Each structure stands twice: as C-alpha cells, then as structure tokens.
Amino acid sequence: MRASPTVFAPDQKPWYRRSWALASIGVLAIVIVVVSDYPQGTTKADRASEYATVQTEIYSGIQSCNSGLVSSITAVGEILDRQSTDVSTANGILAQAEPNCTPAGNSDLLDLASINVPNILENYQVRAAIDNLDTWAFPNAAAVVNDLKGLLANPKDASIRQDLIKRQTTMDALAANTQAIMNKDAKFFSVPTATLGLTNLKSYPASILGG
C-alpha cells in the first residue's frame, strides 16, 4: 500500500514548502540564468576584436553582388553607347548577375544575412547595417539588374528607367546609412574602417539613365 502524503498545518510546514520560500527560489533561479548568460568582464578591446571580425564579414558578404551589378552596368552601357555590339555576352553577364544578388543564388549573401552578432555588440547598430545591405542586394540590386536587362531589349522604355533610378536611389540611401554606422563603430573601437564602395547612381553612364 502507498503511504498517505504527509499533511502539515499551514503554520507548521517546513520552510521549503511555504509559499514565500517557493517564490524566492523561483526568482533566484531566474537571476542565476540571467547572470550566467550575461557576458562578464568584457572590455573595449574584446568588443573591438569582435567588431573587426563582424565588419570583415559584412564587407565580404556584399561585394559579390556589387561586382555583378558593376559588370552589368558596364556591359549594358557599352551596348547603348554603341561601343560594342556583343548583345549575347551582355545578356550572359546579366543572367549571372541577377541571381547573384539573391540569397538563394549567392552563398555570400546567405552568409551575410545569417551573421551572428555577438551580445557585446548589440548596442552598436551592427544588425541594422546587415539588414540594410540585405535589402540593398535583394530585392533592389537584383531588380536593377533585371531593369538593365529590360533596357537592353527596349532602350527607349521610360518606365524601366524610372524603376531603375528609383531603386538605385533607395540603394544609395541604404549604403550611405550603413557606411555611416560602420564609420562610427570603427572610430569608436579604433579599428580600420571597411569602405564598402558600393555602386551608386553616379556610377551609371548617361545612356542608361537617359540623360
């Protein structure tokens, strides 16, 4: 037979069975978890080292898409300026560049999106910089490459030019904001600043912009 559970009078319960004790134990457990998860003894040098690593990852993550965009602008510009008649090669460049500006088609962008920002950098807008560049590449840079493809086929289509200019203007704002964040953080941590050097509206020949 099972023994009957011991029943205590309210004022005779052992201390560990009383409500105030149970509540205190619960609070203590939460405190222990929070404290154990909080980075202890981190210094500015620790944060600077972590930031330098993340900054390199950010820079590397966006360059492949940017390179494809630069090649696309050059190829289409040469056709529209009648410096070249090799439309087939230009289309080949565009066909590679568009997926290269999507996370699904470029592992560098996938790595950029999944950068793990250390807790000790959570107050330095690093995640905002990463999110900016994710948006810079996709959907915007990918869409610009698609617009360039459209201009190659229809050079006089004003709606394509308007969309290209609008998207590139958005990209310029994202890039400027990101660079400002990186400059500020790099200066604070006394590490060399990584200059993104991303394509901007001034990079386009007049034949593409319609000027």
What pLDDT was estimated at residue 38? 42
DSSP states of 132-152 = HHHHIIIIIIHHHHHHHHHHH
What 143-147 contacts at long range (C-beta under 8 Å, 24+ apart), as own/partner pairs, is 143/167, 144/69, 144/72, 144/168, 144/171, 145/68, 145/69, 145/72, 145/94, 145/97, 145/98, 145/101, 146/98
Greatest pairwise CA separation for the chain in angstroms: 99
Q: What is the mean pLDDT of each run of 10 residues along the chain (211 residues)?
A: 48 53 51 42 91 98 98 98 97 97 97 96 97 98 98 97 98 98 97 98 96 67
What pLDDT was estimated at residue 42? 83
Whole-number Å distance between alpha carbons of 114 and 80? 38
Whole-number Å distance between alpha carbons of 151 and 7? 85
What pLDDT was estimated at residue 16? 46
Q: Which domains does the chain have, with CATH numbers?
A: 46-199 (1.20.120)
DSSP states of 87-124 = HHHHHHHHHHHHHHTSTTT-HHHHHHHT----GGGTTT
Inter-CA distances, 210 with 96, 136, 159, 206, Å: 25, 23, 11, 6
What pLDDT was estimated at residue 26? 55
